Amino acid sequence: MTPPKAFRTALDSLRRSLDLRRFFTGGEAVDGPVRLTHRRIYILPTRRGFGLALLLFVQFLVATNYNNSSAFLLTFLLGGIAMHSTLYAFRNLASLEIRPGKAISVFAGESAGFEVHIDNPTRLRRMGIDASLRGTKDSFPLCIEPGSSITLRLSVETRQRGWLPLPTLILATTFPLGFFRAWSPIRLRHGVWVYPHPALAGDTPPFWARHPPDPGEEFVGFREYRAGDPLRHIHWKGVAKGQGVHVKQYSDHDSGELVLDWEATPRVDLENRLSLLCRWILTAEQMGVPYGLRLPGQAIEIGRGNTHRTRCLEALARFPA
């Protein structure tokens, strides 16, 4: 007999809320913007807070021993201030809104850059906030003025190709007194494709072994620059003379057939073959030669330009998917 659905959902949500990992990983990833509320902000005493507890205990003992009302009062006042500082710490994070910004894809081995925007839609100035990515040591001290927003530029070292999700962003504060640390782990559905690390520049595509690109090809004429045209075809002298950006056109016989084929790579391990393909794509793009890509199970037709390049590189990054 299966339990009724309502019961199961209740059980699920209970399990989710009892899962303490969310204190650090931030639960399920969300698209954002994320608004920080009491459900997302956690607070615990710091080591200094425990130190304070010890001090309060000793003061309490002294006050009890001497039956000293002033000492009791000061002890309780200090305790009250510490308790109250939790509200301040909470308030320092509450109602902040976090949304993902730009992300720039990189090759494995470079650092990927993420942008995250933090808005402060309240009248309260936020200070003493530390932003950090889970698993890294770097932290960014933040101060956000009322009604303004800031942009965090986070970088993550990459090792291997594939989809790199933004690690959990942790906003933490010990403001105002350092006895308590309030923090909020935020997992944004935000990430980049990490392309394979390109092989060394010397590895030219096999095509050029047969048809080395000949810079002395027949010059046909000029046309206006379009995004994606190879830089080396730009008529730089004309640009320098202020005639606008024009591109030299050559008669491109036989240039439509460059297909970068998986089968053409040496039969080494997968990553190295992808690296080589990656290098070929870059070289072809640099040379301004239109190219296609053929991988086991998929093929990308001939093309040129940034979009095409990105499409090809992404295919490498997500291979074999």
Partner 1 sequence: MNSRPRSDSEAIRHTLPLLGTAIAMMAVPHVADLPWDIPAWVCLAVLARWAIQSRRIPAPSRLWLLLAAVTGVMLVYFHFHKFHGREAGVALFLVGLGLKLLESRSLRDLYLVVYLTLFGAVTHYLFSQSIAVFAYTLCVLVLLVACLIRLNGGEILTPGTRLRLAGGLLAQAIPVTLVLFLFVPRVTGPLWKLPQDDRSGRTGLSDYLEPGAISRLGATRETAFRVDFEGEPPPPRQRYWRGPVFWHFDGRRWTIGAEPSHNVQAEPARGEGKLYRYTVTLEPLQRRWVFPLEFPESVPTELTLLRDGYLLAAEPVGERRRFVLSSRPGSPSTILPTQERSRALQLPAPPDPRVRGLVTGWQGDRSSAELLAQRILDHFHTLPFVYTLRPPPLHGDPIAGFLFETRRGFCEHFASTFVYLMRVAGIPARIVTGYQGGHWNPVGKFLEIEQADAHAWAEIWVEGRGWLRVDPTAAVAPERIERELEFAGVGNDGAVLFMDPVARTLDGSQWSVSPFLRQADWLWSAVDHAWTRWVLAYGPEVQMRFLRWLDITGWHHLVYWLGGLLSGLALVFLGFFRPRQYLPTEPALRLYRRVTRRLEQGGLVRHPAEGMRDFAFRVAAMRPDLAVPFGRFTELFLEIRYGRRHRADALQRLRELAKPLLAPGFLRRARRTADTRSVPDAAVVSARSMANR
Binding site residues, partner 1, CB under 8 A: 48, 51-52, 55, 58-59, 61-81, 83-85, 87-88, 90-91, 94-95, 99, 120-125, 127-129, 137-141, 143, 146-147, 173-178
> Of 186 and 315, which has the nearer Cβ to partner 1?
186
> Of 48 and 134, which has the nearer Cβ to partner 1?
48
> Of 14 and 143, which has the nearer Cβ to partner 1?
143
Question: DSSP letters of 250-297?
Answer: E--TT-TTEEEEGGGS-SS-HHHHHHHHHHHHHHHHHHT--EEEEETT
In whole angstroms, the minimum distance from the beta carbon of 62 to partner 1 comes to 6
Element (H, E) at 171: strand 169-173
> Of 57 and 219, which has the nearer Cβ to partner 1?
57
In whole angstroms, the minimum distance from the beta carbon of 314 to partner 1 comes to 25
In whole angstroms, the minimum distance from the beta carbon of 115 to partner 1 comes to 14
In whole angstroms, the minimum distance from the beta carbon of 12 to partner 1 comes to 23
In whole angstroms, the minimum distance from the beta carbon of 168 to partner 1 comes to 18
Sign of CA dihedral 60, 66, 72, 78: negative
- Taking the CB of residue 114, how many other CB atoms lie within 10 A of it? 25
CB 260 within 8 A of CB 293: yes
- Taking the CB of residue 11, how many other CB atoms lie within 10 A of it? 11
If DSSP codes are grouped into helix, strand and coil, which group holds residue 115? strand
Element (H, E) at 107: strand 106-107
In whole angstroms, the minimum distance from the beta carbon of 181 to partner 1 comes to 10
> Of 64 and 251, which has the nearer Cβ to partner 1?
64
> Of 132 and 255, which has the nearer Cβ to partner 1?
132
Residue 24 sits at φ, ψ, to 5 deg, of -115, -35
Burial of residue 112 (number of CB atoms within 10 Å: 0-12, 13-18, 19+):
buried
CA 153 remoteness from chain centre: 9
